[in-house]
Amino acid sequence: MGCFEVLDTDSRSAARQGLLTTAHGRVETPVFMPVGSSGAVKGVTPQQLRRTGATIVLANTYHLLLRPGVATIERLGGLHRFMSWDGPSLTDSGGYQIFSLSPLTKIDDEGVEFASHIDGTRIRLNAEEATQIQNRLGADIIMCFDECTPYPCDEHRLRKAVERTIRWARRCKRAHHNTSQLLFGIVQGGIDSQLRGCCASEIVRLGFDGYAIGGLSVGEGHKNMIETVEHTAALLPENAPRYLMGVGTPADIIAAVGAGVDMFDCVLPTRNGRNAFAFTEAGPLRLRNSSHINDGGPIDPACDCYCCKNFSRAAIRHYFNTSEMLGPILVSLHNLRFYQRLMAKIRQALAGGRFSDWAKQQLRQYSGYR
């Protein structure tokens, strides 16, 4: 069984540096987890991913259930062997797809029926099935099944989702039987502080290995998000990891670290990379623009990634404009490295006792990404 240790704290905020121990190794926090929903981070090999500085990756129960199927992954030796990733991993439960695939879902107190986004096949998921599937996949950290709501959301629906999330968490804990895995509970409640408090109280009372803040980055905006994170994180145990799901931009991450969050995931580095959008110290860079046609410089002179060491902006622009697959790969690699460099700077600032001053400056610098 893994454990979490707080190593350093910031005297002027709730930020902390920690060490999370899992069955497949240790993870320094705050940490960013690249997203590999279907068992691979798009366009990037596990070796390349390691070289960006990634130490833990995320996969998704719903997507792996559809293809290739849980039994296939089991026969091939489990999720780590399937992905050719020997480090720590986390699987989401499929609760986010209740939100993202809402036109294809029917939800009740028992669970959710999905119409597959691939071929329309009906798939039923509930708390027990989502937990048992994750037990079989074998990730180091697994998530309770929850209901993620949209923004805005009326009070009745939001309250109903919180009640379901609490009941489902109780059922997930009873169904969890793989002692080598950490099980995280999820706090829902939109931007309603009262509902967040109620949900956090009940989830903490149940007792989990870690706690996640879900249901954000769904349209509520940076200010509402951070106010909700600050309120919710303060209600979670200090001796357990705190995970903000699906977030976010550099400014989102820095502000959430200041609120006491330890773990993050987001599709932005690779999704934006596939669309010629690069994160840099100087602000966002759109590499299809004609201004780069003769630019022999790297995406970011401050970056030490493979892309920046070997390719010019002009070459990358050419690859995108000719639909050469190398373009999306290179910018994805750069963006992933940008995020890992950002997390390393956060940990260094915490270790050096200067996080608050550093964060204030960085939040101004990264305001263009919101």
Q: Catalytic site residue 265?
A: yes
Q: How many CB atoms lie within 10 A of CB 274?
A: 19
Instruction: Identify the active-site residue in 140, 146, 262, 265.
Output: 265
Active-site residue flag, 10: no
Dihedral of CA 58/61/66/71: which sign? positive
User: What are the strands, taking DSSP E only, across the chain?
Assistant: 3-9, 16-22, 25-29, 31-33, 57-60, 89-92, 105-107, 111-115, 122-126, 141-143, 182-187, 210-213, 242-244, 263-265, 277-278, 285-286
The rounded distance, in Å, linking the Cα atoms of 88 and 223 is 32
Q: Contact at 8 Å (CB) between 220 and 191?
A: yes
What is the CB neighbour count within 10 angstroms for residue 314?
Answer: 15
CA dist 189 and 9 (Å) reads: 28
Helices (H) and strands (E) in the chain, counts: 15, 16
> 92, 146, 252, 262: which is the annotated catalytic residue?
92
- ω into 103 cis (within 30 of 0): no
Active site residues: 92, 265
